[in-house]
Amino acid sequence: MQWIMREMANRSCIVIKTISVQNKQMKEYQHMIGEDPQLVRTLHTARLVAGADAPVLINGGKGAGKSSLARVIHVNSARRDHGFTMINCAGVDDRRFPLNSLSNGDRTISEIISGTLVFKELDELSSAAQAGLMRFMDSASAESLRIIATSNMDLQLQVEKGEFRQDLYFRINVIPLSLPDLNSRESDVPLLIAYFTKCFSLQHKRRAPLYSAATFKILKKYQWPGNVQELRNFCERMVLLLPGKRIGAENLPAEMSDEKVCAANGAVINLPDGGIDLSQLEQNLIRQALDNSSGNRSRAARLLGITRDKLNYRIKKYALTIS
């Protein structure tokens, strides 16, 4: 199979560029479809480092495809024929972590040790579990593993706050990769909708619904707080409920209505008679977004309707100190 990179002029044929995956595994890579420059750069970097065994830290919002990217790295590595084990760090038992988690499942420890080990939602680890993971990273067992970690939070900021171990952060953050949120990939929305609609049409043996230009405009402006996973669920719902129908604004879920999308993207601010300090207003909004997202820059960028790169640029521009 291949990655969807562009849509043909007739809108019925999708051209895909490959990174060696099997058809049966395609569901693992659906989050990687798109032509957004940041996404393409991230995939290119992932492909370059797949052959090495250096630890990788993948950052991004929930539903952005971090687990899928971890599997992309695995299947393009020399360890592809060995185990791919994922440990969800949210709510793990602190005792003997991560060895107690490795004991679960049908595979033996030796099979796991020869493959790729992914720590999902690393930012959720308690201090005790972080200490356990640091001991594991220093052990002989870890030397024969490919370690990948994913995080919803900005771990560097968590280190600065004293909420994440600095030594563990430096051990894992050898190859940093960042996945953009879907609301910063507006041009990818039609590609993803076309792809998922076709997949679910075949899976459920129903005619694919059609989307009007006006509907696409609304869907491209929608913020997609659940990222690609939310869009995937939406496409399946449309295939099941409206097979072969033309999807108009009236068929969209309430949260995607034209009025709510416009309100979220174009709230009116009344300009005072005395004017405003625009740069100060922007700084205040950035601080509010970071506070509301607990310092997660990807989430803060989503709240502000800009990309993470643009947010980082503005933080540096105003020399903002993030507490």
Q: What is the pLDDT of residue 298?
A: 80
User: CATH 3.40.50.300 region(s) of the chain?
Assistant: 37-179
CATH architecture of 37-179: 3-Layer(aba) Sandwich (3.40)
Q: What is the pLDDT of residue 9?
A: 27
DSSP 9: T
Q: What is the pLDDT of residue 278?
A: 81
> What SS3 string covers 73-91?
HHHCCCCCCCCEEEEECCC
Average pLDDT, 10 consecutive residues per value, the chain (323 residues): 30 29 43 85 92 92 90 90 87 69 55 82 90 84 85 90 93 94 91 93 94 90 91 95 92 75 51 75 86 80 80 87 72
Q: What is the pLDDT of residue 310?
A: 84
Chosen CATH of 278-317 out of 3.40.1000, 1.10.405, 3.20.20, 1.10.10: 1.10.10
Strand ranges across the sheet with 175-178: 84-88, 116-120, 146-151, 56-59, 175-178
User: CATH 1.10.10 region(s) of the chain?
Assistant: 278-317
pTM confidence score: 0.70
Q: What is the pLDDT of residue 66?
A: 93
Q: What is the pLDDT of residue 309?
A: 82
Contact predicate 264/257, CB 8 Å: no
Decide: helix, strand or coil at residue 200: helix
User: CATH 1.10.8.60 region(s) of the chain?
Assistant: 183-265
> What SS3 string covers 80-135?
CCCCEEEEECCCCCCCCCCHHHHCCCCCCHHHHHCCEEEEECHHHCCHHHHHHHHH
Which tokens in the block code for residue 181? 């949120």
CATH architecture of 183-265: Orthogonal Bundle (1.10)
Picking from 241, 238, 257, 261, the residue whose alpha carbon sits closest to that of residue 249 is 257
Q: What is the pLDDT of residue 316?
A: 87
Q: What is the pLDDT of residue 85?
A: 87
